[in-house]
Amino acid sequence: MTKDIASPKRTQAILEKHGFRFKKSLGQNFLTDSNILRNIVAGAEVTKESGVIEIGPGIGALTEQSAKEAGSVLAFEIDQRLLPILKETMAPYPHVSIRSQDVLKADLHAEIDAFFTPGQDLAVIANLPYYVTTPILMKLLEEKLPVRVMVMMMQLEVAERIAAVPGSKAYGSLSIAAQYYAEAETLFRVPKTAFVPQPNVDSAILRMTRREKPPVDVPDEAFFFQFVQEAFTQRRKTIGNNISKAWQHRMTKPEAQALLEAEGVAPSRRAESVSMEEFAALSHVFWNTLTSD
């Protein structure tokens, strides 16, 4: 029986055989601990009826563990140098398909329709490159893919920001944007020593379970997210200052602060103390005021 790809010895052997050199610009850090990889896949609760979408398979260490549990795996790899390696390492798994493509430019709905069975249980399982974690995550969420759950490894700090609750230092516009689409929870931390090459920071496994519908009602999604971002523009300033400055071309500072107070949000509060429900209520009153002009 072939040994798991994710061991320091086998990973090194594969890289040396193919003369592979890591590209810092692609944020390549390969996991060399099979137990961690198995736990990532277990977090997605996939079965032989499930399909898995992976982003950045690398040499196939996580892909291999997904392939052992799922019925089909579709992986997107931007680095063409890895394709011959993946062809070799994934040879025992005919139900794995590799797309040589930047996932940020891919038509994921079309790819899903073409590869998976209609209505198939789908999960995203990935070790996301640090430098594009947020763009990839938001693409997966905003495109409202028919995916039940996403279990992804990312920089610890980013995972904490996504899963953060109001009142915590990590809570911000990313927390609200992500939790609008999915329930987020950090499953476990991954030490930097588990990677080759070793990154500068620890990682975490984040599980995001897709919501059937958003937890709040908003007048316009684009406006809601813009409003939230404006509230967090300068974290040390109050929500009253940030919002009134953002809309100074449309209303006076007293008018903006009066709208905040009308929804029970004191202008002296900081955005990190404001819940998603409160932001939704505020976006309604500001939207109504601005569109009625």
- Please state the φ and ψ torsions of residue 191, each to the nearest 5 degrees: -70, 150
pLDDT mean over 31-58: 96
Binding site listing for S-adenosyl-L-methionine: 29, 31, 56, 77, 102, 127
CATH code of residue 86: 3.40.50.150
From residue 274, give the alpha-carbon distance in Å to each of 160, 232, 277, 289: 18, 10, 8, 20
Give the SS3 label for residue 82: helix
pLDDT at 1 over 60: no
85-136 pLDDT per residue, tens: 999 999 999 999 999 999 999 999 999 999 999 999 999 999 998 889 999 9
From residue 250, give the alpha-carbon distance in Å to each of 244, 253, 267, 290, 291: 9, 10, 18, 7, 11
CATH code of residue 280: 1.10.8.100
| Predicted pLDDT at 293 | 59
Q: What pTM was estimated for this model as a whole?
A: 0.92
Clarify whether residues 40 and 174 are in a common domain.
Answer: yes
| Domain assignment present for 137 | yes
Clarify whether residues 253 and 125 are in a common domain.
Answer: no
166-221 pLDDT per residue, tens: 999 999 999 999 999 999 999 999 999 998 888 888 999 999 999 999 999 999 99
CA atoms 79, 83, 84, 90: torsion sign = positive
Clarify whether residues 248 and 115 are in a common domain.
Answer: no
Clarify whether residues 129 and 173 are in a common domain.
Answer: yes
**Residue 171 in contact with residue 275, Cβ under 8 Å?**
no
Share of the chain above pLDDT 70, in %: 98
Of 47, 91, 89, the residue nearest 72 (C-alpha)? 47
Q: Choose one of 210, 234, 262: the last residue of a domain.
A: 210
| Domain assignment present for 1 | no
Clarify whether residues 55 and 185 are in a common domain.
Answer: yes
Query: At what angle are helices 276-291 and 221-231 packed, to 10 degrees?
Result: 110
Distance CA 270, CA 274 (A): 7
Average pLDDT, the chain: 94
Binding site listing: 29, 31, 56, 77, 102, 127
| Domain assignment present for 2 | no
Clarify whether residues 188 and 47 are in a common domain.
Answer: yes
| Predicted pLDDT at 238 | 96
User: Domain limits at 13?
Assistant: 8-210
